[in-house]
Structure 1
Amino acid sequence: MKTADFLRVLDREGRLLAEAAELAGTDAKVPTCPGWQVADLLRHTGVVHRWAAAFVAEGHLSFRPTEEPPALDGAALTTWFREGHRQLVDTLTAAEPDVRCWHFLPAPSPLAFWTRRQAHETTIHRLDAEAARGGTPTGIDPVFAADGIDELLLGFHDRARSRARSPQPRVLRVRATDADDAVWTVRLSEEPPAAARGGAGEADCEVAGPVAVLYPALWNRQPFPTVHGDASVAALWQEKSAVT
């Protein structure tokens, strides 16, 4: 996917998130984020949007912490979220392709990184908002979902801070049933996970299903569609793979 594609997803997903939040109400519980209400979801995502926009707009070359969200609730909080989302989309749209700023995963450019990262950040939290709203969630494009699995397995969990570890070596395979080339192999050990595209070799456990279902399942937003083999490996992933 190109940066322009991620930008379109980000624009759409932020609007869907706000719409679902309005329908649910800011005091509604978010079943996919235990202990959170919709207000917490809006505050978190709104802060992250402004945090990301600042790196690109202001060219910060080193890490900067997020700011505290304002003491807003109800309609005022939803409006604040919409404003931050719009600011992020506009900032990324206007940015020069060679803009230099801090980013934390490998990418073709900082602009490519932030646009992709915020598209996935917003999509996962849009699913959270729709879970609070109830009803059928909005669909996810399979190509985008596969990219999100790439980002999670090959990016986030390639870092030393990943907690997805096993005292005994285990191999988890992730297989999309609706795309021939959407297969990942994750080697779990006491070191950070070693993940790669492809299905070579034996696996202790395989989780399988449509790629647009596997994507949120790997982010622990829903159960794995099917689990074959040693189910304790899938359970280990769900227990230890949270990204913070």
Structure 2
Amino acid sequence: MEITAHIDALRREGTLLGDAAARTDPDAPVPTCPQWRLRDLVLHIGQVHRWVTATVRDRLPVRMDAERRQAARGPEPDDAGLVAWFRTGHATLVDTLTAAPADLACWTFMPAPSPLAFWARRQAHETAVHRIDADAAAGAEGPPTDPRLALDGIDELLGGFLTASRSTVRSERPRTLQVSPDDGPGRWLLTIGPEPLTVERTERPADLTLTGPARDLYLLLWNRLPAGTGRVAADGDGSLLDLWRETATIG
């Protein structure tokens, strides 16, 4: 996906998140994130939008320290002002990324073609996944994730977060997981063992093969799709999916 497509996705998903939050009690539980109430979710994503905005706008070369991050987040709103506060931060982030130059230089935390490409992509998916959480709190399924965005998000999750040294997806013995969307070109073969998992962009027999629409695989791999729901077929060792649910976490 191009940078402009990621920014468009960020704009759309943030608008949907705000709409879901506006029709939901801030104290509503978030089924996909059991430790959170809706207000926790909205505060989290609103704070992320604000410190990313500051990172891009001020072209910060290193990760913010705790004091500067808190300053970027600003004061927490009360429940009455929560949705408006979120919408303001979201709109400011969209505007900041749209106005940023192609040669933007600032801190990032995963390889990418450029810092601007990194932050546009990361915030599109940060917001899209949490929009799903907001819909879950609202008790109503929102619009399905665009298949192109879902394919891109699978690639970011598998090839970025979960291959990093800090990834907790491990197995005492090597095991393989094939991810094969049936509505797009992406194919990923994961080898999970004692070291960080490895990913190949290929398709071949594996211990467990997951097949289905990209949007359902996206949610399943982000642990947003409860067992037995969606349209994903799991062929092979089901215990590997249990391992994924227990260890594939992003902090």
The corresponding residue for 1:112 is 117
Aligned position for 1:227: 234
Where does structure 1 differ by over 6 angstroms across 4 or more consecutive aligned residues?
none
Shift of the alpha carbon at 1:69? Answer: 6.1
Q: Identity, % of aligned pairs?
A: 47
AA matched with 2:5: D
Report Cα offsets for 1:26-60 as digits up to 9, x if no partner: 11111000021110001100111011111110011
Q: How does 1:38-117 map to 2 (within 5 A)?
A: 38-64=38-64, 65=66, 66-67=69-70, 70-117=75-122
* Secondary structure at the counterpart of residue 135 of structure 2: helix
Instruction: Please give the alpha-carbon distance, in whole angstroms, between the structure 1 residues aligned to 2:35 and 2:162.
Output: 25
Is the contact between residue 18 and residue 81 of structure 1 (CA under 8 Å) also seen in structure 2?
yes
CA distance in 2, matches of 1:226, 1:243: 24
Task: Tell me the number of residue pairs that the alignment of Structure 1 and Structure 2 aligns.
Answer: 242
Give the TM-score normalised by the residue count of structure 1.
Answer: 0.95
| Alpha carbons 2:24, 2:137 under 8 Å: kept | yes
Give the TM-score taking structure 2 as reference length.
Answer: 0.93
- What are the residue-to-residue correspondences of 1:17-32 with 2, within 5 Å? 17-32=17-32
Gaps of 5+ in 2: none
Secondary structure (helix, strand or coil) at the match of 1:206 reads: strand
Corresponding residue for residue 209 of structure 1 = 212
Shift of 1:75: 2.7
Which secondary structure state, in structure 1, belongs to the residue aligned with residue 103 of structure 2?
Answer: coil
Give me the whole-angstrom Cα distance separating, in 1, the residues matched to 2:114 and 2:178: 30
Q: Deviations over 1:140-175 (max 9, x none)?
A: 111111000000000111110000010110001111
Secondary structure of the residue aligned to 1:208 is strand
Asked if structure 1 preserves the Cα contact closer than 8 Å seen for 2:43 and 2:76, the reply is no
Is structure 2 residue 243 aligned with structure 1 residue 236?
Answer: yes
Structure 1 residue runs of 5 or longer lacking an equivalent are none
Q: Partner amino acid for 1:183? A: R
Cα RMSD (Å):
1.3
Conservation of the 8 A alpha-carbon contact between 1:217 and 1:223 = yes
Determine the structure 2 residue equivalent to 1:174.
179
